[in-house]
Homo-oligomer: A and B are copies of this chain.
Amino acid sequence: MADRLPYGSGRTSPQRRAIASMAEELGRAFTIDDLERALRRKGKRAGVATVYRAVAAMEESGWLERVGVRGSKALYARCDSPAHHHHLVCTSCGIVLATDCPLEFATHSAKAEHGFTVTEHDVTLYGVCRDCRPGPELGEDGD
């Protein structure tokens, strides 16, 4: 049931509505900067602090997820899947795919081999999605 609200129990405002619908519309991983630029292109106006706060609120509510970094900027993507999972981020087009957590075995063996109790983990896989993969006869690199 994916009718989770972008801002949970927080208030809505014209700015927040524009920000959330743009995040939805982008359909791929984006930085705060990408988001601001896209909003400006649509004539929507929102202060930088407002965008940061809206993104933080959407992340808080689970409607948005942080999916790594691009350069020195945080990367986010629309995703409200409730179960624990990780992300495949295409470095060419920015599409984000969900993938199951591959760490059950690693977690268990950390315990068995080192007595180490894993409580958190960072996992992000970067690569090239099907649509961005150069075709065999084109022999080109994208980007």
Contact = CB atoms under 8 A, between A and B. Distances in A.
Interface of A: 68, 88, 90-91, 97, 99-100, 102-103, 105-107, 109-110, 114-130, 133, 143
Contact of A129 (B97, B102, B115, B126): B115
A130 B118 CA distance: 11
Number of copies: 2
B119 A127 contact: yes
Given A115-B129, A116-B90, A102 B99 contact: no
A131 to B, nearest CB: 8
Most buried by B among A68, A99, A129, A133: A99
Contact of A110 (B68, B99, B116): B99
